[in-house]
Chain A
Amino acid sequence: NAGVTQTPKFRVLKTGQSMTLLCAQDMNHEYMYWYRQDPGMGLRLIHYSVGEGTTAKGEVPDGYNVSRLKKQNFLLGLESAAPSQTSVYFCASRRRQVWEQYFGPGTRLTVT
């Protein structure tokens, strides 16, 4: 099993550009999460999904959109990137009633 994979690993955007981050898991997990990690801030939840076709806002959802059209994929979109969105983005997943999360390797995004 590949576990949780994230594409791309690195990306540089100019302010105002858009992009989509892809998270894929092959463990048949119901729950999926997108976090951002900033120095001294820990992990903050952006959006999450409890199943295919459902998404919900987390702690810091502004400027991001998500979609979960297939159970194994969770997409994070930035419609108009801002320098404040420079961060490392982590995707995670877990099985219902099994509480630990499995994390991807992260995507380092820089917005100039």
Chain B
Amino acid sequence: AQSVTQLDSQVPVFEEAPVELRCNYSSSVSVYLFWYVQYPNQGLQLLLKYLSGSTLVKGINGFEAEFNKSQTSFHLRKPSVHISDTAEYFCAVTPVSALSGGSYIPTFGRGTSLIVHP
């Protein structure tokens, strides 16, 4: 089984400031990691993902995240936020190996609300 902890439920920040949204996970197997963004009254869309290779991954809209295996973390960062980045952000993991039954059940964190003030 795996679990995902998003350490901040809400992060207020001023426009053009940097931001970091924190995500830690625990799992008994190796996992793939994801960040999704949900704009108000919309579904989720993929921001970025880590499957293998370089631990620094870049996504859409200027976001990037770094996978740290020893700290089991996958924090999301942006050097300069815009008003339009105001949204809910979800960290998620999927096991690399199929669990019993041959499936790959994803687990989501509870979300971090990023609020960008002018």
Residue total for B at the interface (Cβ-Cβ under 8 A): 25
- Nearest CB of chain B from residue A109's CB, rounded to whole Å: 15
- Please tell me which stretch of A13-21, A37-45, A76-84 contacts chain B, meaning at least 4 of its Cβ atoms lie within 8 angstroms of it: A37-45
- Nearest CB of chain A from residue B103's CB, rounded to whole Å: 5
Is B106 located at the chain interface by the 8 A CB criterion? yes
Q: Which residues of A contact B46 (CB under 8 A)?
A: 100-101
Is A103 located at the chain interface by the 8 A CB criterion? yes
Contact pick for A104, options B43, B94, B102, B109, CB 8 Å: B43
Contact pick for B110, options A40, A92, A103, CB 8 Å: A40
Whether the pair A45, B106 counts as a contact (CB closer than 8 A) is: yes
Q: How far is A15 from B98 in the complex, measured between Cα atoms in Å?
A: 38
Q: Which residues of B contact A4 (CB under 8 A)?
A: 43
Q: Which residues of B contact A104 (CB under 8 A)?
A: 43
Whether the pair B101, A105 counts as a contact (CB closer than 8 A) is: no
Give chain A's interface residues, CB within 8 Å of chain B: 4, 33, 35, 40-45, 48, 50, 56, 58, 90, 92, 99-101, 103-106
Give chain B's interface residues, CB within 8 Å of chain A: 6, 9, 32, 34, 36, 41-46, 49, 51, 90, 94, 101-106, 108-111
